[in-house]
């Protein structure tokens, strides 16, 4: 497929500091990385490591104080291309209550499209199609305050999706949800990534969520400290512990078992792998 390897987002030696914070060190220093079409990147790091700041650079909510961020080759400093940048990279926030704008789900899905000043017939068509895709048809006439947290987040995703983005930026979208809501939101996003080739950058505190991503980027004190396959980054427990993070439960457990003398491999990431390995060990003994 043409453009399969093209970079959606490129960050070239980007620096950012919040002015007037009285903070001596910048929030981000020298970030170099790019996200290709269709990639799923989990962004991990302790509190204050610059995850949210980085995400906001990609949506042009913040402009790098040094260096450059390109979205589909457009620099985020180009004021007149801002609508295209925001259409191309939609953003989902943590609090489901504070990102739905309109009085009904239907109008909220239309909000971004209205901002693009699209013709009404196009807006109606896209709202309908997006709602059908995410199974939200039954909720179209509902006011947001009657929805569950998971439903609100899915409406927010639909609002971004209606704009036909190339990339979805998510800032801890599941942090305020119950397990069922988390599950449905993650399923929705992974399906969009798989079936429609939409790139995802997912900021998360849950190692289990990061483990589902193809690629994991770890930030600490505004710098990239690890960038690679989930299997590689999330099993490097020494590094994770050094910056105050944890591996997945299965990974941590496997490490403890190894310490106790159990010969488990070091690449275990999820429960399934742990169970399989232990069963193999038990059968061999």
Partner 1 sequence: MARSITMGQYIPGVSIIHQLNPRFKLLTLVLILALLFLLETFGALVVSLGMALALFAMAGVPFKYLLRGLRPVLYISIFALIIYFFFTSGGVVLFRIGFLTVESEGGEQGIFIIARLVVLVLFSLLVTLTTTPLSLTHGMAYFLSPLQRLGLPTEEVAMIMAVALRFIPTLMEESQRLMRAQLARGADFETGSIFKRARNLVPLIVPLFVSAFRRADELAIAMEARGFRIGAKRTRMQDDLITFKDWAALVITLALIVLVLIFNL
Stretch that binds partner 1, among 94-102, 216-224, 230-238, 264-272 (CB under 8 A): 94-102
Backbone angles phi, psi at 193, to 5 degrees: -65, -45
The verdict on 90 binding partner 1 (CB under 8 A) reads yes
* Nearest distance in Å: CB 255, partner 1: 38
Among 163, 245, 254, 264, binds partner 1 (CB under 8 A): 163
Q: Can you list the pairs that 190-196 forms with residues at least 24 positions away whose Cβ atoms lie under 8 Å?
A: 190/40, 192/157, 192/161, 192/168, 193/38, 193/40
Among 144, 150, 173, 222, binds partner 1 (CB under 8 A): 144
Distance between CA 74 and CA 7 in Å, rounded?
Answer: 11
Per the CB < 8 A criterion, the answer to whether 34 and 217 are in contact is no
Among 91, 157, 200, 210, binds partner 1 (CB under 8 A): 91
Binders of partner 1 among 52-71, rule CB under 8 A? 59, 61
Per the CB < 8 A criterion, the answer to whether 36 and 5 are in contact is yes
The verdict on 243 binding partner 1 (CB under 8 A) reads no
The per-residue b/e assignment along 134-173, b for 16 or more CB within 10 angstroms, e otherwise, is bebeebbebebeebebbbbbbbbbbbbbbbebbbbbbbbb
121 Cβ neighbours under 8 A, 6+ residues apart: none
Number of chain residues interacting with partner 1 (CB under 8 A): 40
The verdict on 127 binding partner 1 (CB under 8 A) reads yes
The verdict on 95 binding partner 1 (CB under 8 A) reads yes
The verdict on 182 binding partner 1 (CB under 8 A) reads no
Which parts of this chain interact with partner 1 (CB under 8 A)?
59, 61, 82-83, 86-87, 90-91, 93, 95, 97-103, 106-107, 110-120, 123-124, 127, 143-146, 159-160, 163
């Amino acid at each position: 497929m043409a453009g399969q390897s093209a970079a959606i987002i490129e960050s070239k030696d980007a620096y950012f500091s919040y002015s007037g914070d009285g903070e001596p060190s910048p929030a981000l220093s020298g970030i170099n990385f790019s996200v290709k079409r269709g990639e799923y990147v989990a962004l991990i790091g302790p509190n204050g490591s610059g995850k949210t700041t980085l995400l906001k650079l990609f949506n042009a909510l913040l402009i790098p104080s040094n260096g450059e961020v390109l979205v589909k080759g457009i620099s985020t400093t180009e004021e007149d291309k801002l609508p295209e940048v925001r259409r191309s990279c939609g953003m989902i926030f943590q609090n489901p209550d504070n990102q739905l704008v309109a009085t009904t789900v239907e109008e909220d899905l239309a909000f971004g499209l209205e901002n693009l000043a699209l013709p009404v017939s196009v807006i109606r068509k896209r709202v309908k199609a997006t709602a059908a895709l995410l199974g939200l048809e039954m909720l179209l006439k509902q006011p947001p305050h009657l929805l569950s947290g998971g439903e609100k987040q899915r409406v927010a995703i639909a609002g971004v999706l209606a704009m036909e983005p190339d990339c979805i930026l998510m800032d801890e979208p599941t942090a305020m949800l119950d397990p069922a809501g988390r599950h449905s939101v993650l399923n929705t996003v992974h399906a969009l990534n798989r079936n429609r080739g939409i790139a995802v950058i997912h900021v998360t505190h849950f190692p289990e969520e990061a483990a589902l991503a193809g690629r994991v980027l770890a930030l600490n004190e505004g710098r990239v400290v690890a960038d690679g396959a989930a299997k590689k980054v999330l099993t490097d427990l020494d590094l994770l512990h050094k910056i105050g993070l944890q591996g997945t439960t299965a990974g941590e457990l496997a490490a403890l078992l190894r310490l106790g003398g159990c010969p488990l491999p070091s690449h275990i990431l999820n429960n399934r792998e742990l169970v399989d390995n232990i069963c193999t060990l038990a059968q061999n003994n």
